[in-house]
Amino acid sequence: MKIDEIKNGIVIDHIPAGRGLTLFDLLNLDSLDCPVAIIKNAGSAKMEKKDIIKIDAEIEVNLDIVGYIAPSVTVNVIKNGTIVEKKKLTLPETLTNVIKCKNPRCITSTEQELSHKFKLTDREKGVYRCIYCETAASQKK
């Protein structure tokens, strides 16, 4: 299979196999008016299998979403066909409107315009807690 190289854009590499489509949906990449490639189950010496997303446009990507879904990814920024920046991500300290609080008694359930904010409380287990009610939410596996 041949996927053309991109001239200017972003490559999200080392996505754990099976999480590429989740990332595609959460980043709303279907709304872009440029070529976007999702490569699923690509061979990898480091991970055995991985997903890759290539975006052939210079856009801003929400790195909090990327770091939450796949904290071990590498985000490569491409300019004129060359990698000009490599970003190694980890779990973000805070998340805003990425996950929703499941607690029906949380203020976010009644105050619809209020942002869903979570703070990382356990990096090892990927546990976040709602800043309003302390309800725990685990990192997506």
Question: What DSSP string runs through 95-129?
Answer: EESSS----TTSHHHH-TTS--EEEEEETTTTEEE
Answer with the residue of higher pLDDT: 4 or 43: 43
- Do 86 and 74 contact (CB within 8 A), yes or no? yes
* Whether the predicted pLDDT of 98 surpasses 70: yes
Domains delineated in the chain: 9-88 (3.30.70.140), 94-138 (2.30.30.20)
Average pLDDT estimate for 55-72: 91
* Whether the predicted pLDDT of 35 surpasses 60: yes
* Whether the predicted pLDDT of 141 surpasses 80: no
Count of C-beta atoms within a 10 Å radius of residue 141: 8
* Whether the predicted pLDDT of 69 surpasses 80: yes
Tell me what pLDDT residue 64 has: 92
pLDDT averaged over every residue in the chain: 90
- Do 7 and 78 contact (CB within 8 A), yes or no? yes
Spatial distance between the Cα atoms of 75 and 83, rounded to a whole number of angstroms: 10
Kindly indicate the confidence band of residue 3, based on its pLDDT and cuts at 50, 70 and 90: low
pTM for the complete prediction?
0.82
Average pLDDT estimate for 35-52: 89
